[in-house]
Chains A and B, each alone.
Chain A
């Protein structure tokens, strides 16, 4: 997501106010990483986030989001984003997402791309997603 620079112009001193760098928010294009049919069949529009289930509208690793894929709404779990996080955590080159049902069951059967170890802390919610993951970083 591009940084937005706005400048405050109604006060005598000009101040440039940068928009905060967001990880995954509404209308970000994401990459589905599991081997589900819905995620891998090509479509003329990329899957986009339409809602983040969070108090702030910003999604980090381990947050649930609502995705619009192939004209359908589907929930998904964020497994990696391009924004740098806390030190010692991995930063991925693409915003990765795993498709999920409402109760937390993943739709795909295998996840080839590496998943951060920090998701293991919330083993209770994501145990099934972690079970199908192959590589951990």
Chain B
């Protein structure tokens, strides 16, 4: 290369390649399962500590993968009444509830035009395997509205192959707007109390305005309802990750 002077420039070596170590990137992303975070209350923290010890003990023996609401999971449970003593159920996770050892998640699927939901306990020793078939976060925390949505949104093939994850980074967000069956629904999902973003409301404008009458805009500013979990999460994350590494 010749600079503006006319004299040849000093040799510039090519830029060094940036090596992205994928293993390090996995460690960077932290995921703490929501059932580890203790609920707000006046119970002795010792109770939560003992529960966490039991939860970590179970996780060492049995791998509970990281999953969110909206993932498609396949769960194999031990059942004395089933063939081969094991039963397999595939479904989309619509809700994760409970704290501590009683943490549950509800899987929903539509089999032969019949909607079936099963509430599984995460730490139940009857569960033999949990596989994540499809990784997908949805716009909401709670997909209970799928009960009133058209059945095509809840149908998942029982023999679905697990979708391979290429990046060990972000979980894709599915901004699907679900179409609903005609009203009446089990809950009035258009009301702001449920704060649902994943439904394509085809209701007339006056109905949507009427639903806004039940909005409580003061709730987000209520200081007594605040529960800041960032510091608690940090402490618990350190504790859990150290215990699991051992």
Verify if B177 is at the interface (C-beta below 8 Å from A): no
Which B residues, 120 to 134, have Cβ-Cβ distances below 8 Å to chain A?
120-121, 124, 126
With a cutoff of 8 Å between Cβ atoms, the chain A residues found around residue B116 in the complex are: 90-93, 114, 137
Instruction: Pick the contact of A91: B79, B89, B113, B117 (CB < 8 A).
Output: B117
Verify if B142 is at the interface (C-beta below 8 Å from A): no
CB of A95 to closest CB in B, whole Å: 11
Q: Which residue of the partner chain A has the closest CB to B121?
A: A87
Q: How many residues of A contact B (CB 8 A)?
A: 22
* Inter-subunit contact A87/B120 (CB<8 Å): yes
Q: How many residues of B contact A (CB 8 A)?
A: 23
Number of A-B contacts (CB under 8 A): 64
CB of B98 to closest CB in A, whole Å: 10
With a cutoff of 8 Å between Cβ atoms, the chain A residues found around residue B118 in the complex are: 88-91, 137
With a cutoff of 8 Å between Cβ atoms, the chain A residues found around residue B79 in the complex are: 117
Using A112-B112, A135-B111 as known contacts, say yes or no to A90 and B117 having CB atoms under 8 A apart: yes
The answer for the CA separation of A94 and B81 in the assembled complex, in Å, is: 23
Verify if B96 is at the interface (C-beta below 8 Å from A): no
Using A87-B120, A87-B121 as known contacts, say yes or no to A117 and B115 having CB atoms under 8 A apart: no
Using A87-B119, A136-B87 as known contacts, say yes or no to A121 and B81 having CB atoms under 8 A apart: yes
* Inter-subunit contact A120/B82 (CB<8 Å): yes
* Inter-subunit contact A117/B112 (CB<8 Å): no
Using A87-B120, A117-B81, A120-B81 as known contacts, say yes or no to A93 and B112 having CB atoms under 8 A apart: no
With a cutoff of 8 Å between Cβ atoms, the chain B residues found around residue A57 in the complex are: none
Which A residues, 36 to 69, have Cβ-Cβ distances below 8 Å to chain B?
none
Verify if A113 is at the interface (C-beta below 8 Å from B): yes
The answer for the CA separation of A46 and B243 in the assembled complex, in Å, is: 58
* Inter-subunit contact B82/A136 (CB<8 Å): yes
CB of A84 to closest CB in B, whole Å: 7
CB of B236 to closest CB in A, whole Å: 25
Verify if A105 is at the interface (C-beta below 8 Å from B): no
Verify if B71 is at the interface (C-beta below 8 Å from A): no
Bitwise interface map of B from 73 to 100 toward A, beta carbon under 8 Å scored 1, else 0: 0000101111100010100000000000
Verify if B33 is at the interface (C-beta below 8 Å from A): no
Bitwise interface map of B from 1 to 14 toward A, beta carbon under 8 Å scored 1, else 0: 00000000000000
CB of A130 to closest CB in B, whole Å: 10
* Inter-subunit contact B81/A88 (CB<8 Å): no
CB of A78 to closest CB in B, whole Å: 14
The answer for the CA separation of A112 and B120 in the assembled complex, in Å, is: 24
CB of B235 to closest CB in A, whole Å: 30
The answer for the CA separation of A117 and B118 in the assembled complex, in Å, is: 12
The answer for the CA separation of A46 and B118 in the assembled complex, in Å, is: 27
With a cutoff of 8 Å between Cβ atoms, the chain B residues found around residue A94 in the complex are: 114-115
With a cutoff of 8 Å between Cβ atoms, the chain A residues found around residue B155 in the complex are: none
* Inter-subunit contact A113/B81 (CB<8 Å): no
Top 8 A-B pairs ranked by shortest CB distance? A93-B115, A120-B81, A113-B114, A117-B81, A91-B117, A90-B116, A117-B82, A90-B118
Residues of A within 8 A of B (CB): 80, 84, 87-94, 96, 112-114, 117-121, 135-137
A-B contact pairs, 16 of them (CB 8 A): A80-B114, A84-B119, A87-B121, A87-B124, A88-B118, A88-B120, A88-B121, A88-B126, A90-B89, A90-B118, A94-B114, A113-B114, A117-B81, A119-B81, A136-B87, A137-B87
